[in-house]
């Protein structure tokens, strides 16, 4: 399921339509009258900055705030099919193939790194991914991730639903991510939960400079040859 979705941009767009339009807007908001809590405008976080968009997919950033205010967006994904699709959808971005656990850029290359609703698809622990984002980022990390409760009926229902339509590897609880931030020395500037059932967490993190040494790729600062 996951391989099919993430190597075929059309299936990914279909999945996004089903989740965002059919489930959230038509059923939960329309039929059940749940009032969605929209994500805040965080354009000032990226305004005029050099931004890295990790695990960009086909360039659809509807799961998080737009990054259009950035001075430059450099995006990457591990799937060549998504890189090609993203290049068509976002010709103004600079694109390349890359792995989130070995990002092909030097330390402190970017002002802001962004990852939207991708952490649960990555087959390594969140700490490795966020440590690598911390390495290449001089300022802030903007993370959006769908959460599951620690226990209860809603947790079981969400895990069943995700297994059917999403194919992720591990769905995090808020406590798991909070513990990871603390372990890595990432300071939470703002955080909140949004959407019709408040399951999407948006967090702005301040990076931890003391954790950068000896991590990740060995490219020199500013080396963008991979793109």
Confidence of residue 59 (pLDDT cuts 50, 70, 90): confident
Q: Are 29 and 101 in contact (CB under 8 A)?
A: no
* pLDDT tens digits for range 102-118: 999 999 999 999 999 99
Rg (CA), the chain: 17
pTM: 0.83
Sheet holding 72-77, edge to edge: 94-97, 72-77, 50-54, 110-116, 137-146, 200-206, 187-194
- pLDDT given at position 223: 42
- Diameter of the chain measured on Cα atoms: 54
Q: Give me the domains of the chain, ranges plus CATH numbers.
A: 2-210 (3.40.50.150)
- Identify the helix (H) or strand (E) that includes residue 77: strand 72-77
- Computed over every residue of the chain, the mean pLDDT equals 85
pLDDT number for residue 178: 97
Paired tokens of 141 = 């990390």
How many residues comprise the chain?
227
Compute the average pLDDT of residues 23-30: 66
Per-residue confidence (pLDDT) for residue 67, from 0 to 100: 93
pLDDT 10s digits, 138-157 = 999 999 999 999 999 999 99
pLDDT of residue 225: 43
Quote the pLDDT of residue 28.
61
The continuous run of DSSP H or E covering 129 comes out as helix 126-136
List pLDDT tens digits, range 88-103. Answer: 999 999 999 999 999 9
Residue bearing the bigger pLDDT, 26 or 7: 26
Tell me, what's the pLDDT at 84?
93
């Amino acid at each position: 399921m996951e391989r099919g979705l993430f190597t075929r941009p059309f299936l990914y767009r279909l999945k996004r339509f089903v989740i965002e339009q059919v489930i959230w807007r038509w059923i939960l908001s329309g039929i059940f009258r749940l009032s969605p809590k929209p994500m805040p405008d965080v354009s000032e976080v990226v305004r005029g900055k050099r931004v890295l968009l990790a695990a960009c997919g086909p360039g659809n950033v509807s799961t998080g705030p737009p990054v259009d205010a950035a001075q430059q967006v450099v995006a990457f994904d591990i799937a060549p099919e998504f890189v090609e699709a993203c290049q068509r959808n976002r010709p103004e971005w600079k694109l390349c193939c890359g792995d989130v656990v070995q990002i092909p850029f030097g330390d402190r290359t970017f002002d802001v790194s962004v990852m939207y609703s991708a952490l649960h698809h990555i087959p390594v622990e969140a700490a490795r991914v966020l440590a690598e984002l911390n390495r290449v980022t001089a300022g802030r990390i903007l993370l959006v991730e769908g959460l599951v409760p620690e226990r209860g009926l809603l947790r079981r229902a969400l895990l069943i639903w995700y297994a059917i339509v999403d194919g992720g590897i591990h769905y995090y609880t808020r406590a798991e991510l909070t513990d990871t931030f603390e372990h890595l020395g990432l300071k939470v500037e703002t955080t909140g939960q949004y959407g019709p059932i408040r399951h999407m967490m948006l967090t702005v993190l301040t990076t931890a400079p003391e954790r950068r040494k000896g991590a990740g790729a060995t490219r020199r600062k500013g080396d963008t040859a991979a793109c």
